[in-house]
Amino acid sequence: MDRYAVFGNPIEHSKSPLIHSLFAKQTHQAIDYGRQQPGNDQFNDAIKAFFAQGYIGANVTSPFKLDAFRFADELTPRAKAAQAVNTLYKRPDGSVLGDNTDGEGLVHDLQRLWGALEGKRVLLIGAGGATRGVILPLLTAKVCSIHIANRTASKAHELAAMFEKEGNISSSGFDDVPEVTFDGIINCTSSSLNGDLPQISANIFSEAAFAYDMTYKAQQTSFMQWAKKHNAGIEVSDGLGMLVGQAAESFYLWRNVKPQIEPVIKTVRAML
């Protein structure tokens, strides 16, 4: 039985073992999937021992995505663009491939919920690793433009500069977001985990068709409630579908089998 695990700290809350066990059952794959929680400065030693013990692949979450990026022998184009890795795969030749499936998970979920992204104007709130991982996949999905807004404007400008050759990207602080109509607003910060909100004007929601929060909870997140308060007609979603979608991409990389996402989202949602 092939063995996998998710690395993070903390990691006991992770839904990845459940999600991958559901994928395995659905696709008739025999796998074992667990959790690994190294100390914050012990990822390299832990992942080396992990692969030495015969494990084949790992998912990687906070705070180890940059460590995984540095550890991989080879990187996929989307991992290079994100400068972070959330999936490691030990290939038959012994080399370790690093991938980033977060952006693909987001794009798939947005398309599942609201159709094609082509021509859409998107506002990304936040300029951290989560934002960086989704810019190239969104551009590949042919969004019309991306605006990055961040509390510290300089970080937004730096991130926009990294991708300026790839598409129409602009940036600002929270206080000077351009007064244009955005089709979609995506909260890439973790503010909703604590019930908080980004310190940005609610005017961003006025004409938007959808608002998406990368975090997820059993009930509507604070960001989703905020969007609905300021635009009753806006459609909202949390990030559970993104979580399942990025896991499906990892599963496909490891097993060469594409699981169905929708039934797994429903099962995990019912267990929140």
Q: Supply the residues annotated as catalytic.
A: 65
Q: How far apart are CA 40 and CA 49, in angstroms?
A: 16
Contact call for residues 102 and 83 (beta carbons, < 8 A): no
CA atoms within 13 A on the CB side of 224: 16
What are residue 169's DSSP bridge partners?
Answer: 146
Question: Which residues, 6 or more positions from 145, have their beta carbon under 8 angstroms from its beta carbon?
Answer: 121, 122, 167, 168, 169, 170
Residues with Cβ within 8 Å of residue 52, at least 6 apart in sequence = none
For residues 189 and 198, the answer to whether their CB atoms sit within 8 Å is yes
Chain-centre distance for alpha carbon 17:
17
Rounded Cα distance between 237 and 140, Å, is 22
Q: Tell me the angle at which helices 129-140 and 153-163 cross, rounded to the nearest 10 degrees.
A: 40
Spatial separation of the C-alpha atoms in residues 91 and 203, rounded to whole Å: 49
Segment 78-82 long-range contacts (CB within 8 Å, at least 24 positions apart): 78/103, 78/104, 78/136, 78/137, 81/132, 81/135, 81/136, 81/163, 82/129, 82/132, 82/133, 82/136
44, β-bridge pairs: none
